Structure 1
Amino acid sequence: MAATVQNVVTSGVFELDGGSWNVDNNVWVVGDDREVIVIDAAHDAGRIAEAVGERAVRAIVCTHAHNDHVNAAPDLAGRTGAPILLHPEDRVLWDQTHPDRAPDGELTDGQTLTIAGTELQVLHTPGHAPGAVCLYSRELGVVFSGDTLFHGGPGATGRSYSDYPTIVKSITERLFALPDDTTVHTGHGESTAIGAEKAGSSGWEKP
């Protein structure tokens, strides 16, 4: 039986470059009734742990290291014993939030994570952040896009360590290469589909 996808929405504050914004984050719990991975441990480790229940957490995967996606990761790791995985190019952002606690392992482009017999492929998609990744499951027909792609277009690139031409390249070359009917589970807001975003991309600002 394939893994299932559970959504937990947590709320808190995103802080970068001296600014702060109240945000709601999508936390994705992927697995079965025995084991899961958690994608983007945001804001509230207690709420995430409650959603996980008695299941074993095999990894806490960070799509990128902006504080609103990783601020609950060490607490959740302490509760569950799970390793925190992050692409090394986002360590500069991670250290702004957790200077005294390093991630436990690195994510690499093309790496495969397996949970409940279901494979998730790591796609390095820089632009919103230098070490941003997406996780794609062909079996589930989903991609977890973090803040790389949203319903309506690319993630924000107006702050430090982000770049608009780079995110557009990541989306067009990596994500738009996925099947059009792939569901896109985003870091904030509603889910979408690759085909829908591809169709709307003609209106994007060209890099």
Structure 2
Amino acid sequence: MRVDHIVTSGTFSLDGGTWDVDNNVWIVGDDREVIVIDPAHDADEILAAVADREIKAILCTHAHDDHISAAEALATATDARVHLHPADEPLWRMVYPEADYDPLHDGQTFEVAGGELLVVHTPGHAPGAVCFHAPELGVLFSGDTLFQGGPGATGRSYSDFDTIVDSITDRLLSLPPETIVHTGHGDSTSIGAESPHRQEWIDRGH
């Protein structure tokens, strides 16, 4: 079980604004099978990185359009199912009025390459935001919940600052400090690097 990674580029649109963004797409598995986390922007680029491996599942940390924009195309190309927390249904429907997904829930596990990914519901950046914890790898895939430098943005619709800080505090900071945090954008960090700064986030947020 290992982690592969590509960066895809496109736009993020919400609340009447559009921004250029680079997204991390995480591919977890081995030489035979993988799980794709956050299928952003370019299905062909993701398929090229997966190569001839089977995609067991397509997991979305949340339903902002930049994180799911290649989800339906990737699912159609591979017959893999897309999984999303149902609290993000309104955001999903902004992109896919008709396309379906499989609802995931806190505590659910996905098996791949002899290991597993555990779903951790971390609302705040979006109501259905989740992280995926891979204990065997000592890795957390945090989407836009936790970045190098603190919590993800909460200034737009469907987001809330106090909620995201509570999610990080209650669900993530209790993980081993050496846990590597692979984020939705930008560089990776660790639980140990971020946890000492919780009060700074709160002071900055208020």
Q: Tell me the TM-score normalised to structure 2 length.
A: 0.97
- Counting only pairs closer than 5 Å after superposition, residues 124-203 of structure 1 correspond to structure 2 as 124-203=121-200
1:188 Cα offset (Å): 0.1
CA distance in 1, matches of 2:57, 2:170: 27
CA distance in 2, matches of 1:108, 1:60: 14
Residue by residue, what CA displacement relative to the aligned partner does 1:99-138 show, whole Å, maximum 9, x if unpaired? 12121x1110001111111111100000000000000011
CA distance in 1, matches of 2:186, 2:21: 10
CA distance in 1, matches of 2:12, 2:113: 32
Which residue number in structure 2 is paired with residue 55 of structure 1? 53
2:46 partner SS:
helix
CA distance in 1, matches of 2:197, 2:124: 19
Task: Indicate whether 1:39 and 2:44 are aligned.
Answer: no
1:205 partner SS:
helix
1:99 partner SS:
coil
CA distance in 2, matches of 1:52, 1:31: 10
1:178 maps to a residue whose letter is L
1:199 Cα offset (Å): 1.5
Which residue number in structure 2 is paired with residue 97 of structure 1? 95
CA distance in 2, matches of 1:148, 1:115: 23
Q: Tell me the TM-score normalised to structure 1 length.
A: 0.97
2:44 partner SS:
helix
CA distance in 2, matches of 1:141, 1:188: 19
RMSD: 0.8
CA distance in 2, matches of 1:147, 1:74: 21
Contact 2:61 2:131 in 1 (8 A): yes
Which residue number in structure 2 is paired with residue 76 of structure 1? 74
CA distance in 2, matches of 1:205, 1:175: 16
1:203 Cα offset (Å): 1.2
* Ranges in structure 2 where 5+ consecutive residues have no aligned partner: none
Residue by residue, what CA displacement relative to the aligned partner does 1:58-105 show, whole Å, maximum 9, x if unpaired? 1100000000000100001111110000000001100001112121x1
Which residue number in structure 2 is paired with residue 118 of structure 1? 115
